[in-house]
Amino acid sequence: MSTRPAKDYKKGADTGIDGYINFFDDKSGQAKQVIVQVKSGYIGVNHVRDHPLVPSLPRRGNRGGRDQEKAPIGALITLREPTKPMLTEAASAGFYEPKEFPGCYPRLQILTVAELLGGKKLEYPAHRVKTFAKAERKTKSKQEGLF
């Protein structure tokens, strides 16, 4: 998993986005993103509700939440284990199902740092887009001289 930092490197108010993971789920070559948010210390269900995910994240009444980003999947990385209400709220976001490739991925995933260090991975489409043709391998005996 290769995460890029958020685009705004300025200090100041927290926009809620700490990084992005690009992935491809179709043959268009257009990358989609996983929005990554990292929280330390005490976190609660309000942090899950306020995750800057897509507009389809369910909102009940005026409970916060910012529909500022368009992304199919979001990740909340924490130091502490998530509570049951946090897991319930994340599950209410539903699943992302790519049209061209089979698979079903939770729209909002909560992972702890310990889980990541233990080898658990974020679930998202891992389709690879071929950008370069692989060169033919030649051994020294088959290589021609430069001159």
Does pLDDT of 75 surpass 60?
yes
How large is the average pLDDT for residues 93-103? 86
Closest to 25 measured CA to CA, from 68, 62, 72: 72
How large is the average pLDDT for residues 85-91? 92
pLDDT for residue 15: 61
Q: Is 73 helix (H, G, I), strand (E, B) or coil?
A: strand
Higher pLDDT, 144 or 131: 144
Cα gap 30→23, rounded to integer Å: 9
pLDDT in tens, 24-73: 888 787 888 899 999 988 888 888 888 877 545 555 554 444 445 678 99
Cβ atoms of residues 50 and 89 within 8 Å: no
Cα gap 29→47, rounded to integer Å: 33
Cβ atoms of residues 93 and 58 within 8 Å: yes
How large is the average pLDDT for residues 3-25? 68
Q: Which long-range contacts (CB under 8 A, 24 or more apart) does 34-38 make?
A: 34/71, 34/72, 34/73, 34/74, 34/75, 34/122, 34/124, 35/69, 35/71, 35/73, 35/74, 35/75, 36/3, 36/74, 36/75, 36/77, 37/74, 37/75, 37/76, 37/77, 38/76, 38/77, 38/78
Higher pLDDT, 145 or 95: 95
Cα gap 112→124, rounded to integer Å: 17
Higher pLDDT, 118 or 99: 118
Q: Residue 78: which pLDDT band, with cuts at 50, 70 and 90?
A: very high
